[in-house]
């Protein structure tokens, strides 16, 4: 499912850690939401909002210095909504190994809206 190019790529920094010294899940969720929105916006050429983030699975921890890539792919298109899968991979740069490890995945649903925030059909 991984697309050839990441939607977002970022290096994790010390400010992103939790009390255990690994990257806080909320930081990853924020990037997942952004990556999903970017992928959805490529299809829906109007305002969209996140309406659901389903089944976020954290497979492996993320560490300071990891280069994290967020890949998005469209799963479903509705009349007003679009569902995007986001897969997250980390390259463990600090260990000298650039092999990417799958760390997180989620499915997000976005809805096209008008200026008043009401759902509207979209044209892709």
Contacts of 22 (CB under 8 A, 6+ apart): 61, 62, 63
Does a structural domain hold residue 22?
yes
The domain total for the chain is 1
**What are the Cα distances from residue 78, in Å, to 71, 108, 122?**
21, 13, 9
Segments forming the whole domain that contains residue 31: 8-112
The model's pLDDT over 52-73, given as tens digits with 9 standing for 90+, comes to 999 999 999 999 999 999 999 9
Contact between 64 and 12 (Cβ < 8 Å): yes
Residue 61 lies in a domain: yes
* Nearest C-alpha neighbor of 87 from the set 105, 69, 109: 105
| Percent share of the chain, pLDDT over 90 | 87
Residue 124 in any domain: the answer is: no
- The pLDDT value recorded for residue 2 is 55
CATH number at residue 25: 3.10.129.10
- Rounded Cα–Cα distance for residues 88 and 28 (Å): 9
pLDDT for the residue numbered 96? 74
Predicted TM-score of the model (pTM): 0.92
Is 46 within the bounds of a domain?
yes
């Amino acid at each position: 499912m991984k697309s050839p190019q990441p939607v977002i790529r970022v290096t994790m920094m010390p400010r992103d850690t939790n009390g255990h010294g690994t990257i806080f899940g909320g930081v990853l969720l924020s990037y997942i939401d952004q990556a999903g929105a970017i992928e959805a916006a490529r299809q829906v050429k109007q305002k969209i909002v996140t309406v659901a983030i389903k089944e976020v699975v954290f497979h492996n921890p993320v560490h300071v210095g990891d280069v994290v890539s967020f890949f998005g792919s469209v799963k479903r298109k509705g009349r007003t909504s679009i569902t995007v899968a986001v897969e997250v991979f980390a390259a463990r740069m600090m260990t000298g190994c650039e092999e990417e490890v799958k760390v997180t995945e989620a499915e997000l649903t976005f809805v096209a809206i008008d200026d008043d925030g009401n759902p509207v059909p979209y044209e892709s």
